[in-house]
């Protein structure tokens, strides 16, 4: 081997060692970055005595796809659970303190107390006040539900804007990958950026990918709707300025295909958008229907009756009074229109004794015709009606036959059941997302201890190359001296 060849080999070794060291240093500096995949400097022989360093990026497509799916599932589930938690406090209060069920229970107690002393108009006024609390719980609950739907609608609009922005960024990252692949340059950083964007996109919708020539990637939703192919597909949504009971929300479209909302406490759909749609059009709408049906049951239970006369709204009235809502039929928005009958409300000049005697709708409806101050039969009857089964609309998601008091309690039970399912599923899906991310990190992430060990090996390689160069230098010096 000539001295010039030996010198060339030593120089090449030093250059390769420097590049390997640079790669390892980069690995160590980005070890805490969850979106960074480990680089490996692979030394290959290209000709006798010549070596080069190629950069290989650690990948595991199977684990990455599993992680994307787990992230989508957790995002949708946590969105659902957090929204349910917020809605429950807004409608029912902390520990259901301001729920219609609690207010109805207080009304029943007030009626029982009034029935024990019908001549005591202070107790009568207290019963009317308890009725006002029921009205407040129902009307404010209805308002809270619609406010929640409006807020959720705004969150959907924001999420759609964010998703469109991410798809635009993905286009740029994908173009960088394609360009680098065609030119033969290292595209590891561009691939990291593209994968990081996929994780963010998976937060909004479940994604599936496949790669074509030049590392060009096509992205679809879990249902096969195209999100990105050469160019981003439009995600469209028209927000609403406000909601009324029974009003349907606008759909979110991806490439003109609507996104399906999730169903159930353990949400069937993945991604934040599906969770928000389920909250707006599923959970909140069902809760509104149950408030409306509770209201209809109350109006029916306290209706005044008379021979040969139609039932008329009594203690509780509504916008369609004096008629009583049709039995077993949901009336959208009824909870927002319920009122205490002014004829019985002392705060507006009414007479609380009409609750005891009847007659808010005229003399034909008076039950205590003798005017006895100790008459309590009607008050007892009202209490009995609250516990008597009546027909409810099954569209509200509860039993078709129940008493008013049980129906209001079952509404809380239904909501708490959904919340418990959502909480349990959220914990499970979070754990799965965490485990899949950990498995992916173990396969493609950086182990600092391993990198430091490689640095020690490179240090020894560097020392060997340096000694070779010094030896060649000494020999060259000796040769020159001998010639001189």
List pLDDT tens digits, range 178-193.
Answer: 999 999 888 888 999 9
Give the pLDDT band (50/70/90) at residue 269. confident
CA distance 61 to 440: 9
Nearest to 274 by CA among 260, 284, 286: 260
- How much is the pLDDT for 47? 56
Picking from 76-85, 140-149, 441-450, which range would have the lowest pLDDT averaged per residue? 441-450
CA distance 64 to 297: 53
CB-based contacts of 7: which residues, under 8 Å, 6+ apart? 469, 472
Inter-CA distances, 484 with 7, 18, 281, 476, Å = 22, 36, 95, 12
Mean pLDDT over 249-255 rounds to 95
- How much is the pLDDT for 35? 84
List pLDDT tens digits, range 57-107.
Answer: 888 899 999 999 999 999 999 999 999 999 999 999 999 999 999 999 999
- Domain residue limits, the chain: 3-57+448-483, 64-181+273-295+408-432
Element (H, E) at 309: strand 309-312
Whether the link from the prior residue into 322 is cis, omega within 30° of 0, is yes
Tell whether the model's pLDDT for residue 18 goes beyond 70.
no
List pLDDT tens digits, range 195-243.
Answer: 999 999 999 999 999 999 999 999 999 889 999 999 999 999 999 999 9
- How much is the pLDDT for 132? 97
CA distance 320 to 18: 85
> What's the chain's average pLDDT?
89
What residues does 211 pair with on adjacent strands?
217
Phi, psi of 85 (to 5 degrees): -60, -45
Tell whether the model's pLDDT for residue 306 goes beyond 60.
yes
Given a contact cutoff of 8 angstroms between Cβ atoms, the answer to whether 105 and 416 are in contact is no
Give the pLDDT band (50/70/90) at residue 13. low
Please name the residue that has the structure tokens 């229907």.
289
CA distance 421 to 254: 29
Half-sphere exposure of 316 (CA within 13 A, CB side): 29
């Amino acid at each position: 081997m000539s001295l010039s060849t030996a010198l060339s080999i030593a120089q090449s070794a030093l250059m390769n060692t420097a590049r390997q060291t640079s790669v390892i240093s980069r690995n160590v500096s980005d070890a805490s970055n969850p979106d960074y995949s480990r680089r490996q400097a692979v030394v290959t022989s290209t000709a006798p005595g010549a070596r080069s360093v190629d950069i290989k990026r650690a990948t595991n497509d199977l684990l990455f796809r599993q992680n994307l799916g787990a992230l989508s599932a957790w995002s949708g589930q946590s969105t659902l659970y957090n929204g349910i938690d917020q809605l429950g406090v807004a409608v029912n209060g902390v520990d259901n303190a301001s729920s219609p069920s609690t207010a109805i229970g207080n009304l029943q107690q007030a009626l029982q107390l009034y029935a024990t002393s019908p001549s005591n108009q202070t107790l009568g006024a207290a019963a009317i006040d308890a009725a006002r609390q029921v009205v407040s719980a129902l009307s404010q609950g209805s308002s809270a539900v619609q406010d929640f739907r409006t807020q959720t609608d705004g969150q959907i609009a924001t999420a759609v804007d964010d998703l469109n922005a991410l798809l635009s960024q993905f286009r740029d990252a994908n173009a960088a990958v394609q360009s680098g692949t065609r030119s033969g340059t290292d595209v590891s950083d561009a691939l990291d950026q593209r994968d990081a964007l996929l994780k963010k996109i998976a937060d909004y919708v479940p994604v599936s990918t496949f790669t074509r020539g030049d590392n060009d990637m096509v992205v679809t939703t879990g249902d096969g709707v195209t999100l990105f192919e050469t160019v981003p597909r439009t995600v469209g949504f028209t927000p609403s300025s406000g909601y009324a009971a029974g009003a349907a929300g606008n759909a979110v479209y991806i490439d003109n295909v609507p996104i399906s909302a999730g169903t159930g406490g353990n949400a069937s759909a993945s991604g934040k958008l599906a969770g928000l749609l389920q909250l707006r059009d599923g959970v909140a709408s069902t809760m509104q229907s149950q408030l409306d049906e509770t209201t209809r049951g109350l109006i029916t239970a306290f209706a005044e009756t008379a021979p040969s006369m139609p039932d008329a709204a009594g203690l509780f009235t509504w916008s369609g009074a004096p008629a009583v809502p049709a039995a077993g039929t949901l009336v959208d928005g009824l909870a927002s229109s319920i009122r205490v009958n002014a004829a019985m409300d002392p705060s507006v000049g009414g007479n609380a004794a009409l609750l005891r005697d009847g007659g808010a709708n005229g003399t034909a409806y008076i039950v205590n015709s003798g005017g006895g101050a100790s008459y309590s039969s009607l008050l007892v009857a009202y209490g009995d009606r609250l516990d008597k089964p009546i027909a409810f609309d099954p569209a509200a998601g509860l039993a078709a036959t129940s008493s008013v008091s049980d129906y209001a309690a079952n509404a809380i039970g239904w909501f708490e059941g959904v919340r418990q399912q959502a909480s349990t599923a959220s914990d499970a899906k979070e754990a799965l997302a965490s485990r899949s991310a950990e498995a992916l990190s173990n396969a493609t992430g950086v182990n600092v201890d391993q990198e430091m060990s490689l640095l020690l090996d490179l240090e020894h390689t560097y020392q060997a190359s340096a000694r070779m160069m010094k030896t060649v230098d000494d020999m060259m010096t000796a040769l020159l001296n001998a010639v001189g």
